[in-house]
């Protein structure tokens, strides 16, 4: 499993690195980032995956999420995957920011011409963890997930489908029901097929309705988010969790929008939440 080092830099006593490899899942070169805390010099450390939102790559969170200081203090390894396959030969809609490059929605596409490359679910849940276990001091028995918007959707659905793998899951402004949301339904239709039953595998509310369970979720949502009413709709997740008996902490943050200003403000809360559940 060869891995190329793009860059490394010391930060808060740990190391912020960017890495590249050829992915068997996407059949493209993939770039990802890992922050290794100083505690890794003494042994393997817990892993927290951050899944980014639409139009983003690993770089956005590296530059704006402000996670390194507290992650170093808490001893958390932070992993930042890309949000889609990249490359000139990868099918795309260059004038559509809600589909294609930067908008993989963490699904395994089944429709052509997307099925060959858009396999981000397999990449994040299977292939990239293998690289992490091989090349980094990661304790793969202590993993958590969080993410923003499309990445919040990814964190919730991956946790629900793999409760034996992840100990904790949280989200910033997640798309909780992408099968009906105005800015995600068209993408799922193209990747998976209009009306395809497989879409339910990538919808947190549908997964809960279909019997999937996770012990608890922690969600922050800004009340000034312009996507709140049509794209995000956290009340749907609240209803699904209540019916299923899943503990949900839903914080409606007054006056906050959808940006990294919102994410960075509450990043420490999420890191502490995960650290508490990844100990031991």
> Is 168 among the catalytic positions?
no
Among residues 149, 168, 170, 184, the one annotated as catalytic is 149
From 212, 258, 270, 274, active-site residue: 258
101 is catalytic: no
- Told to judge if 258 belongs to the known catalytic residues of this protein, a careful annotator would answer yes
Q: What is the 3-state secondary structure (H, E, C) of the chain?
A: CCCEEEEEEEECCEEEEEEEEECCCCCCEEEEEEEECHHHHHCCEEEEEEECCCCCCHHHHHHHCCCHHHHHHHCCEEEECCCCCCCCCCCCCCCCCCCECCECCCCECCCCCCCCCCEHHHHHHHHHHHHHHHHCCEEEEEEEEEEECHHHHHHHHHHHHCCCCCCEEEEECCCCCCCCCCCCHHHHHHHHCCCCHHHHHHCHHHHHHCCCCCCEEEEEEECCCCCHHHHHCHHHHHHHHHHHCCEEEEEEECCCCCCHHHHHHHHHHHHHHHHHHHCC
Which of the residues 57, 82, 225, 274 is marked catalytic?
Answer: 225
Q: What positions carry a catalytic annotation?
A: 149, 225, 258
């Amino acid at each position: 499993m060869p891995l190329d080092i793009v860059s490394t830099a010391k930060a808060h006593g740990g190391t912020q690195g960017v890495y590249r490899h050829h992915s068997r899942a996407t059949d493209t070169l993939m770039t990802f980032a890992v922050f290794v805390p100083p505690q890794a010099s003494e042994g393997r450390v817990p892993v927290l995956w951050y899944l980014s939102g639409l139009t983003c790559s690993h770089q956005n969170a590296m530059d704006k999420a402000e996670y390194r200081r507290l992650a170093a203090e808490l001893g958390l390894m932070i992993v930042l995957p890309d949000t889609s396959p990249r490359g000139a030969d990868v099918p795309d809609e260059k004038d559509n920011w809600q589909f294609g490059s930067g908008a993989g929605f963490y699904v395994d596409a089944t429709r052509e011409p997307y099925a060959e490359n858009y396999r981000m679910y397999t990449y994040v849940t299977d292939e990239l963890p293998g690289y992490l276990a091989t090349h980094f001091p990661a304790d793969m028995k202590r993993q958590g997930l969080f993410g923003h918007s499309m990445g919040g959707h990814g964190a919730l659905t991956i946790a629900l489908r793999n409760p034996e793998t992840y100990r904790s899951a949280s989200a910033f402004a997640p798309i909780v029901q992408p099968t009906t949301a105005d800015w995600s339904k068209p993408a799922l239709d193209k990747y998976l097929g209009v009306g395809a039953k497989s879409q339910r595998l990538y919808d947190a509310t549908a997964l809960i309705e279909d019997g999937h369970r996770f012990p608890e979720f922690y969600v922050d949502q800004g009340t000034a988010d312009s996507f709140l009413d049509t794209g995000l709709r956290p009340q749907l997740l609240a209803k699904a969790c209540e019916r299923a008996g899943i503990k949900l902490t839903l914080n409606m943050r007054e006056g906050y929008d959808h940006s990294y200003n919102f994410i960075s403000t509450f990043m420490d809360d999420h890191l502490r939440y995960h650290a508490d559940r990844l100990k031991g």
